[in-house]
Structure 1
Amino acid sequence: MEKNFKLDWDTLKKHETPEWFKDAKFGIYCHWGPYSVPAYENEWYSHWMYVNPDNPEYPQGKKFYEHHIRTYGPLNEFGYKDFVPMFTAEKFDAAAWADLFEKAGAKFAGPVSEHADGFAMWDSKLTRWNSKRMGPKRDIMGELSKEIRKRNMKFIATYHRHWLLGWYPTWDTTTDASNPELSDLYGPKMKKGDFQYPPTPHEIDAGIKKYYPLAEEEFNKEWLARLKEIVDNYDPDLVWFDNKMDVIGEKYRKEFLDYYYTESKKKEQEVVTTYKFYDLAKGTAVLDVERSRMSEMKDFPWLTDDSIDWKAWSHIDNPKYKSTNRIIDFLVDVVSKNGCLLLNITPKANGEIPGPVQERLLEIGEWLKHNGEAIYGTRPWKIYGEGDAKVIEGHLSEDKNPDNTAKDIRFTTKNDILYATVLDWPNETVTIKSLKKNSDYYTGEIKSIQLIGSEENITFERKEDALHITFPKKPIGKHAFVLKISSAE
């Protein structure tokens, strides 16, 4: 054990990102747990329900608190623990879920293993608050891991437990969260004001200091023990972490990586870990950006996680779902910049996946069925693309980015083929400046151009200003349109 404490980050950088991840491009996961029962506003219900409306620091908690008191009663009589028996998942069907993920074109998939609420979605020997002993009384991770792998997809586990530190007001004696007999759910005794958002990258870079409580030894050990149990019992191909992991002692973060990478080698399994901000050292795992993307192509593989609902990560009564077109354009843009997309979906508490969510997933799958050769197994080209749309980077910035037009084109390449994906149907002619005559990027001759899905001959001409391509008069589909460009060499 002592050797783990002497590990340095440089040693852990020797782990290579596997080719399966670079090839996969698209995955699906889901926020699903007791917080799905109230179906109110978002997955942070378990936190905001306890925030007194008189607290000036967090005015956003007022409507949650008042809704909870009005709907369920006082917090000393009905706390978050009381949602657990209501989370019965009676319509959950792991095989049906996995079928849907496969039809959607996902290459990796899995559930949120444990959210900030502290409830484990697996058969755990470390806590009574788990889905096998309470609520559904089923091993959610176990069932999904088997069905997902049957369909030749990689299985992933996502982990948010570090957010539990201060998530509930364990100092507030007017709520059930202060009951020491419930500390195995609500977390360690904290003091008022201990719950803090993590410092932003800008604050860290600027040297801005602010109060930010760190986990004590017992919490660190529990955090690591649950992760090891997940690795030992379910062999995840990818372990994804939410941000704020820097509340966990550095030696424990290092020890997890060492354990996961060492165990995977024993099993001859190629695995991936992800991180946000500065929670793990650059090069030891894959960087993940939340509800955002890169403005430029990167020379390293990266991931973005985004939700199908603009408003929430879990099911709510008044969702605002993204359009299929928006999600496909997002995927194409991310892949052109050397990234992968992990799309979150929002099952209901009873285990049903809402109809509009299923519709969008099936539409994405239909698009990938015909155009997936421009996505799966591809690599970035010399430039990611061209067009008017400028991506705004930054944590939770996706809603600042506009929809794309026919002027927005994204490139990928595979086996000497260049794919140019046009993100909207054009008015007959597409011009691609990057492929103009005597282009610095495409120096060879173009032999042919095929519009995937169309049987018409595509005419084109390379001029001094651009490559001009004549499209059919009628659209061949509803979403992004892929040009398959073959060289004469």
Structure 2
Amino acid sequence: MSKKLFIVALVLMLVSNHSIGQKKYKADWESLKTYEIPQWYKDAKFGIFIHWGPTTVPANNAEWYGFHMWNEGEVDALGNPSKKASSAYNFHKENFGDPAEYGYTKFIPEFKAENFDPKEWIDLFVEAGAKYVVPVGEHCDGFAMYNSKITRWNSVEMGPKKDIVGELFSEARKQGLKVGTSSHYAYGWHWWTYKDKFETTNPELRDFYWDAHDRWEPASKEWVKNWYNRTMDMMTQYQPDLLWFDLGFCEPAYEDARKKILANYYNQGLKNDQEVVLNYKNIQWKPVPDGAAVLDLESGKLDRIRKDVWQTDMSLGGWRWGYCEPYEMRDASNYIQDLIDIVSKNGVLLLNVAPNKHGVIPDDQKAILRDIGGWLKVNGEGIYESVPFTVFGQGPTNAEMRIHANIHEKGFTSDDFRYTQNEQNIYAFWMKADDRKVISLDAFGSENRIINDAISKVSLLGYDSEINWIQQKNELVIQLPANFSSKNPPCFKIELEAMPSDIFNTKK
């Protein structure tokens, strides 16, 4: 090689290395707001959340057991109880003894997960129609469900003696699913009750419970550093496609660390040629500006179409996320209705399942997931890869704009419809079919000007024969097939004629 060519090659190599070493994202909001939500996530629409951990041993008060089990009833200045002991405290005393003698860490050896089968789980989630899966990485109790390099309190060294997150990631990626993991650990600062008689103040368990402090004081700098290090460990080891953060992440004490996490995660994605998603919540504080990450609404929905894609995390068990008894659920049709409503407003549904302490997803949960999957096999073309229509729907029912609102909703009526669109196809979902033989869709009248291209065909997904329809001035009228019935929302596909290739019909 000539000296001139060598110099050129050296310069190119240095420039290339410099470009690789450069970080696109900086830990400031101006830089982070340049983030773009990846197309895979916009198209996915439906994922599975998995809440699992040591709280499934007592199987009481769901994942909040560790928060409530110590509450024996506070006492006022005169020695009078100001409230009764919590139900978890009473349950604990009856089944395990006094919390002063049997602390939370005693559950960890009993969390054996001896029947955990990652392939069986992922097979089920694929059958359910999910496109991504998000096992909890570490909940508020701080027990890591992965092979942590930071804490000994993890599922490889204790309890199951398995890398739960790692095994699920491996199987999910084999089957073509995107993978994410969640961190609830920031809220762990507020989790424990510190009294000298409880193991929460035992110096030998300090690396699990941390230092005694007032529950509601802001997180200390040392704690935030600990949270940051653990999050970075989980993120860099497993390189998830999605990172999900619970409400503690919102607090002002995490502001600097929060920006660093976003920048590091997005830059890791760039380095790996991996399109990544970060979910955050708006609870009390707004931790992330619009556009810098993906907003997640806990058990809530929007009452309108949002320009930016958003997500609802919702549990099969309502307010219960981790497995407990009873674990009360709704009919599969209700979750399908929620999915449709969310997607019609540019949202994505992350639906939680709750395995028991043995690593088994109970049959009643499996049945719901399979019903959802069966419905998606027929109607999924109106869900996956869709975008909102000009209006999200029609009818009297709409969501309340508040957290946990779906738990209190009364449900949809037979007058409610929701719409989605994929190019020249519009999908109209009848949220609760009844025995009527004719329905009217008021968004598709010939003179309403909501659609500009003529309707060429109307069909009912999953029904092979043609159906009768007529477009009138103010509505599209569809006649249902004889003897039609459906326990889950049926979907009508409205095909429009092709858009003009040249809007002015310009001659060549």
Provide TM-score, normalisation by structure 1.
0.92
Closer, same or farther in 2 for the Cα pair 1:481/1:4, shift >3 Å?
Answer: closer
Identity between Structure 1 and Structure 2 (%): 36
For 2:75 and 2:392, the matched residues in 1 are separated by 47
AA at the equivalent of 2:205? L
Contact 2:279–2:293 at 8 Å: present in 1 too?
Answer: yes
AA at the equivalent of 1:258? A
Q: Deviations over 1:195-249 (max 9, x none)?
A: 4xxxxxxxxxxxxxxxxx2222221111111111111111100001111213443
3-state SS of paired residue (1:162): helix
AA at the equivalent of 2:172? I
Answering whether residue 157 of structure 2 is matched by residue 133 of structure 1, we say: yes
Q: Which residue of 2 aligns with 1:244?
A: 248
Q: Deviations over 1:321-340 (max 9, x none)?
A: 12100000000000000000
For 1:164 and 1:5, the matched residues in 2 are separated by 29
Q: Which residue of 1 aligns with 2:212?
A: 189
Q: Which residue of 2 aligns with 1:403?
A: 411
Q: Deviations over 1:380-413 (max 9, x none)?
A: 1111111111211201111222221231111111
Worse-matched range after superposition: 335-344 or 74-83: 74-83
Q: Which residue of 1 aligns with 2:40?
A: 20
Contact 2:299–2:315 at 8 Å: present in 1 too?
Answer: yes
For 2:292 and 2:84, the matched residues in 1 are separated by 36
For 1:133 and 1:58, the matched residues in 2 are separated by 41
Contact 2:424–2:497 at 8 Å: present in 1 too?
Answer: no
Closer, same or farther in 2 for the Cα pair 1:478/1:5, shift >3 Å?
Answer: closer
Matches within 5 A, 1:369-408: 369-408=377-416
Worse-matched range after superposition: 464-473 or 124-133: 464-473
Q: Which residue of 1 aligns with 2:300?
A: 292
Answering whether residue 472 of structure 2 is matched by residue 468 of structure 1, we say: no
Answering whether residue 128 of structure 2 is matched by residue 124 of structure 1, we say: no
For 2:319 and 2:228, the matched residues in 1 are separated by 31
Closer, same or farther in 2 for the Cα pair 1:137/1:298, shift >3 Å?
Answer: same
For 2:372 and 2:83, the matched residues in 1 are separated by 38
3-state SS of paired residue (2:224): helix
The alpha-carbon deviation at position 60 of structure 1 amounts to 7.8
AA at the equivalent of 2:430? V
For 1:355 and 1:326, the matched residues in 2 are separated by 18
Matches within 5 A, 1:22-61: 22-54=42-74, 59=83
Answering whether residue 440 of structure 2 is matched by residue 431 of structure 1, we say: yes
The alpha-carbon deviation at position 488 of structure 1 amounts to 2.8
3-state SS of paired residue (2:218): coil
Which one of 237, 261, 268 corresponds to residue 263 of structure 1? 268
Q: Deviations over 1:146-201 (max 9, x none)?
A: 0111111100101100111031123x11211111211211123213xx24xxxxxx
The alpha-carbon deviation at position 55 of structure 1 amounts to 5.6
The alpha-carbon deviation at position 281 of structure 1 amounts to 2.5
3-state SS of paired residue (2:148): coil
Q: Which residue of 2 aligns with 1:86?
A: 110
The alpha-carbon deviation at position 61 of structure 1 amounts to 5.5
Q: Which residue of 2 aligns with 1:364?
A: 372
For 1:369 and 1:147, the matched residues in 2 are separated by 22
Which one of 59, 62, 67 corresponds to residue 91 of structure 2? 67
Q: Deviations over 1:70-106 (max 9, x none)?
A: 2111222110000000000001001101101110000
Q: Which residue of 1 aligns with 2:200?
A: 177
Answering whether residue 358 of structure 2 is matched by residue 350 of structure 1, we say: yes
Answering whether residue 333 of structure 2 is matched by residue 325 of structure 1, we say: yes
For 1:66 and 1:242, the matched residues in 2 are separated by 28
Worse-matched range after superposition: 394-403 or 16-25: 394-403
Q: Which residue of 2 aligns with 1:214?
A: 218
Max radius of gyration: which structure?
2
AA at the equivalent of 2:483? K
Closer, same or farther in 2 for the Cα pair 1:287/1:78, shift >3 Å?
Answer: same
AA at the equivalent of 2:254? G
For 2:84 and 2:172, the matched residues in 1 are separated by 38
For 2:299 and 2:477, the matched residues in 1 are separated by 35
Unmatched 5+ residue regions in structure 1?
196-212
AA at the equivalent of 1:374? G
The alpha-carbon deviation at position 54 of structure 1 amounts to 3.1
Answering whether residue 489 of structure 2 is matched by residue 480 of structure 1, we say: yes
The alpha-carbon deviation at position 118 of structure 1 amounts to 0.9
Closer, same or farther in 2 for the Cα pair 1:126/1:360, shift >3 Å?
Answer: same
Closer, same or farther in 2 for the Cα pair 1:254/1:399, shift >3 Å?
Answer: same
AA at the equivalent of 2:228? L
For 1:218 and 1:444, the matched residues in 2 are separated by 61
Closer, same or farther in 2 for the Cα pair 1:236/1:338, shift >3 Å?
Answer: same
Q: Deviations over 1:48-81 (max 9, x none)?
A: 0011223689958521111111211122211000
For 2:319 and 2:190, the matched residues in 1 are separated by 24
3-state SS of paired residue (1:484): strand
Q: Which residue of 2 aligns with 1:230?
A: 234
Unmatched 5+ residue regions in structure 2?
1-22, 499-508
Which one of 135, 146, 151 corresponds to residue 170 of structure 2? 146
3-state SS of paired residue (1:70): helix
Closer, same or farther in 2 for the Cα pair 1:33/1:442, shift >3 Å?
Answer: same
Contact 2:201–2:211 at 8 Å: present in 1 too?
Answer: no
For 2:484 and 2:376, the matched residues in 1 are separated by 17
Worse-matched range after superposition: 401-410 or 65-74: 401-410
For 1:429 and 1:254, the matched residues in 2 are separated by 54
Closer, same or farther in 2 for the Cα pair 1:419/1:55, shift >3 Å?
Answer: farther
For 1:187 and 1:429, the matched residues in 2 are separated by 64
RMSD after superposition: 1.8
